[in-house]
Amino acid sequence: MRAISKEIRLDQIEMFNHETSIYRVFYGQEGFTYSGEQKRYRVDKLLLIGFLLCEHYSVDTQGVDLWHLINPKLELTIPRETVIDFVKDLLKIAVNLNF
């Protein structure tokens, strides 16, 4: 996180010192974006949040980027459960991490 904090406009001091910080809510969500047990961030979840927060060049590129998040290996088909889990993650961000 330190290496990319400037690019994602992350105030680390704010995140680590204030429990209600928006940075902690998004980037430090235990069990979603961060695993305290493993002391590691979940890159797939961070990329999803980044996708939602960034500005896209066009609707077309936004759709391609979204598909790459759902299907990072670019398989011809993916299981239905993969799409359902992805949509659940979007809903979690929209409902639980948004205040």
In a domain, 73, yes or no: yes
In a domain, 70, yes or no: yes
Domain total in the chain: 1
In a domain, 79, yes or no: yes
In a domain, 1, yes or no: no
Helices (H) and strands (E) in the chain, counts: 5, 2
Structural domain of 31: 12-95
> How confident is the model over 38-95, as pLDDT tens digits?
888 888 888 888 888 778 889 999 999 999 999 999 999 999 999 999 999 999 888 8
- Calpha distance 31→4 (Å, rounded): 21
pLDDT at 20: 81
Q: What is the DSSP letter of 63?
A: H
- Calpha distance 2→69 (Å, rounded): 23
Which residues, including other chains, have CB under 8 Å from residue 19's CB and lie 6 or more apart? none
Does residue 97 register a pLDDT over 80?
A: no
In a domain, 2, yes or no: no
In DSSP terms, 35 is beta-bridged to: 40
Q: What is the DSSP letter of 29?
A: -
Prediction pTM value: 0.75
In a domain, 56, yes or no: yes
In a domain, 6, yes or no: no
In a domain, 3, yes or no: no
pLDDT category of residue 19 using cuts at 50, 70 and 90: confident
